[in-house]
Every structure is written in C-alpha cells, then in structure tokens.
Amino acid sequence: MSSILKAVHSGTEYPIDQVRFTSDAGELLDVAHDLDELRSRYKISREYFQKKRSIINDQPSGGVWHFKELVMPDLHDDHIVSKMEGNTRLYRSRSVAAWLGLKYEKFFLKHEGENPTGSFKDRGMTVAITMAKLLRQKAVTCASTGNTSASLAAYAAEAGLTGIVLIPKGNVAVGKISQALAYGTKTLVVNGDFDDCMRMIREAQERLAAYPLNSINPFRLEGQKTIIWETLLQLNWKVPDWFVFPGGNLGNTSAFGKALFEAYELGLIDRMPRFAVIQAAGASPFYRAYKDHFASLTTQKADTIATAIKIGDPVNYPKAVRALKWTNGIVESVTDEEILEAKAYIDAAGIGAEPASCATVAGVKKLIGSGEIKPKETVVGILTGNILKDPQVIVDYHFHRTTGLANPPHDIEADIQQLQMFL
Ligand code: F0G
C-alpha cells in the first residue's frame, strides 16, 4: 500500500481502509502517499502527465483521474465512480484583466463551475464516493451551503447509495437546492446555520456511523488537489506568482496546499506560488486569525450575500494554516458590494460565476490596490461555481440597480419600431 491516513500534527498513522475522520486525539487526517515509492513506480515527471492518455469507464478521461497515481494510486479502475469531472477551462479575459490592471496574457480564470454538477465539489466527490462504496457504506451525508449537497446527490444517485443532506434554512441558492431535490437525495432543511449543520454531521458520524462527504473526509481533498495540477499542466508547468480563491470551510485551501507541496517534493515544480485566500467580510474567521498571526481561531456568526461561503467555523482550519505557511500565503476580506461589482465584470465578460467565486476577483482587485499583487505578476483565479447556481442574486442586481454594469430588461410592445430604438 502506498497510502495511509496520517494525523496532521502528531503524524499518528491509520490504515487507508479504516473508516475514520480524526485521530484518537481529534486531529484531522491526511491521505499520505509514499511519494518516493510512487515516483519510482511510475517514473513521475512533467512529461509523464503531459503524454499520458487516461481512460476511465471506457472513455478518455483527463481531469481528476488523469492524476490517479497521486490521488488514489492503489485503487482498481473498476471501482471508480466518475462523471468525468475536471478538464475545466482556463479562461482569459481582456475586459476583466483591464479592470483589474493586470496583463491580459498573465491573468487566468480556472472555471470549476464547468464540472458535472456546476462546482469544484465534483472533483472531491468522485474520490470520496468511490471510497464510500469501496468501504461498504450504505448512507452518505453532508452539511452544505448548497454545492456539496448538489454534488453528493448526483454521485449518490450514480453509485446507488442513500444520500442525506443537511442545509441551513433560507440560506441556500435556488439552483443548488433544486439539484439536491431533483437528483433524489433526502434534503433536510435545518433551522440553524451551516455551522450547526456541520456539527450535526460530525456527531452523526460518531454516533450513527453515517459516512460524511464534507471536506473533513480526506478523500475529498485528494480529488480537489487536481485543480492545481491541471492548471499547472495547462500552463505547461510554468508556476504562476499567485493562486487566488475563496475560503469558506477551507477545504480548497488545504487541498491546494497539499497539491503544491507534493508537486514540489516530486520535482514537478521548482518553486512555490503564493496563495491569496479571499473571505467575505461577514464570514471571515480565517482572515481574522491570519491578522492575529494564527494565534487562535475565533468563530463567528456568518453573514454574506455569497451564501456558499457563509461559514463561521471552518473545519479545515489546521490544514489551511499549514497550506498558508507552505505558500507564504495571505488572506484578504472583501465586502458584499465588492463581490457584486467583481461578479458584474466576470458575468459581463461572458464567463459568469456564482457570488462566492467572484470573491476571488474582488480579492485580486483589492490586493492590486494595496500593492500586494504587482501588475506584472501572473495570477490564476479560481472560479468555484457556475453562474446559474444563484440566479436570484443576478435578478436582484440587474432589475433593481441603476448604476455600475446593471443591465435591466426592457418591456416593449410587439412592434418592430420599438425594437429599432435599441439598434
Ligand atoms: N465557492 C463555492 C462556490 C463553494 O460552494 C464553496 C463551499 C466555497 C467556495 C468554499 O470552499 O469550503 O473549500 O473553502 N461550499 C461548501 C458547500 C461549504 O457546502 O457547498 P471551501
């Protein structure tokens, strides 16, 4: 076996096929791979992944399972539950780059909203649901601000497992709750916030043996690592100066850090990029801990229009701190108004993304303003979710605003002359 479960701080080890999510001392677990063994077994190199053609379920795959050797090396292909996640585009945009004051050739947006259920969660879900099935779990659960529940629902349907999702009442965008219902998962609307739901899931795992597919599940993070590797492959392994992305439960922060650490250890990259994690001002415990040199995490009652990241007690905090140390990373916070402005620019560029994703670009804008990101640097922003996840925010912006990029509809009669006025 090339992989084990390993406690983040103490290094206590457990077998990879043991159903557990924390060490006996309560620490988070990593999936730890024997990188030296894998390097020599597969002759891992940049060219290896550039030349490799991967086939999953009889189809050319790419994406998450293109990196199977560094995700779940000992897994038999026949066990993989996949919807061909990944292979997302790396966009460039003249208008957004100009608005930010970055060079067009050096600013990229990796669109994870192009995954099968419309968010990056699918990258983690394919790995975690595969493991749930392999470990003979019957019911899978999650707490969610929406996207995890949509993804779990679709993958549970595919895998033939019972899915139960907990979502906070009144705080999940309509696109996401629609998916959970439509894909046939049991949707429990909790009279509480996301952090309450998350506490219930952790308790249900301990007391009811319900298998959680939240990012405390270390297999989720193994899949999400591939966002970074796929981007590096798209950039011909040229390391950007910055990766910028939103932080909520801090699963991506943790997974991306691990991806870069492993890439560096394997010699796939020769320097580390820097992270800029962006939080919404009303849901910014990580930002405040960063400002306090990570002395402690103070949880908060979260509030932001970007409901996907409306989280006040992030479960992956210890792993995220480690990732920031590895990447000399920073954390910034942006207001809802800044998120909406950035979203208007991304949407108007014809790319589009849900509000939480747009915190990425609002953060880039702010960090350029403060001089932290330099105009000549190469920046990769991660757009985490699809524009159609949260149509209500779009309708509210364009119907009711008169400023900025607001683009309200016009009512006309069925008369060609009225149309002509708009030409
Ligand atoms: N962006 C989107 C669109 C998300 O859905 C989430 C998290 C994040 C960013 C934050 O990522 O947790 O890795 O820091 N959504 C979770 C959910 C919490 O339940 O769908 P993170």
Pocket of ligand 1 contains residue 257 by CB under 6 Å: no
**Dihedral sign from CA coordinates of 163, 132, 320, 150:** negative
Residue 58 pLDDT: 78
Residue 55 pLDDT: 80
Pocket of ligand 1 contains residue 248 by CB under 6 Å: yes
Nearest partner of 328 among 275, 395, 366, judged by Cα: 275
Residue 61 pLDDT: 76
Residue 68 pLDDT: 97
Give the global pTM. Answer: 0.97
Residue 211 pLDDT: 97
Pocket of ligand 1 contains residue 223 by CB under 6 Å: no
Residue 86 pLDDT: 96
Residue 57 pLDDT: 77
Residue 59 pLDDT: 78
Q: 338: which 2 tokens?
A: 């800044």
Q: 250: which 2 tokens?
A: 């801090």
Pocket of ligand 1 contains residue 252 by CB under 6 Å: yes
Contacts with 257 (C-beta within 8 Å, 6 or more apart), sequence order:
275, 319, 320, 322, 323, 324, 326, 327
Distance of CA 217 to the CA centre of its chain: 14
98: Cα within 13 Å, side-chain hemisphere: 5
Residue 258 pLDDT: 98
Backbone φ and ψ of 14, nearest 5°: -135, 155
Nearest partner of 272 among 332, 322, 215, judged by Cα: 322
Q: At what angle do helices 391-400 and 174-182 cross, to 10 degrees?
A: 150
Q: In angstroms, what CA-CA distances link 178 with 182, 247, 390?
A: 6, 24, 11
Pocket of ligand 1 contains residue 356 by CB under 6 Å: yes
Between the CA of 262 and the centroid of ligand 1 the distance, in Å, is 23
**Dihedral sign from CA coordinates of 319, 325, 327, 328:** positive
Nearest partner of 216 among 147, 317, 325, 112, judged by Cα: 317
CA–CA dist 298, 288 (Å, integer) = 8
Between the CA of 121 and the centroid of ligand 1 the distance, in Å, is 8
Residue 56 pLDDT: 77
Between the CA of 368 and the centroid of ligand 1 the distance, in Å, is 24
Query: Which residue among 109, 119, 217, 317 has the greatest number of ligand 1 atoms within 8 angstroms of its CB, and so is best to mutate?
Result: 119
Residue 203 pLDDT: 95
Between the CA of 309 and the centroid of ligand 1 the distance, in Å, is 6
pLDDT in tens, the chain (423 residues): 799 999 999 999 999 999 999 999 999 999 999 999 999 999 999 999 999 988 877 777 789 999 999 999 999 999 999 999 999 999 999 999 999 999 999 999 999 999 999 999 999 999 999 999 999 999 999 999 999 999 999 999 999 999 999 999 999 999 999 999 999 999 999 999 999 999 999 999 999 989 999 999 999 999 999 999 999 999 999 999 999 999 999 999 999 999 999 999 999 999 999 999 999 999 999 999 999 999 999 999 999 999 999 999 999 999 999 999 999 999 999 999 999 999 999 999 999 999 999 999 999 999 999 999 999 999 999 999 999 999 999 999 999 898 789 999 999 999 999 999 999
Beta strands in 328-398 (DSSP E): 330-334, 379-383
Between the CA of 248 and the centroid of ligand 1 the distance, in Å, is 6
**Dihedral sign from CA coordinates of 112, 115, 121, 124:** negative
Domains of the chain (ranges plus CATH)?
1-118+218-423 (3.40.50.1100)
Backbone φ and ψ of 347, nearest 5°: -65, -45
Distance of CA 290 to the CA centre of its chain: 20
Residue 53 pLDDT: 87
DSSP state of 308: G
Residue 167 bridge partners (DSSP):
189
Beta strands in 127-263 (DSSP E): 139-143, 162-168, 186-190, 211-212, 242-246
**Cβ atoms 266, 236 nearer than 8 A:** no
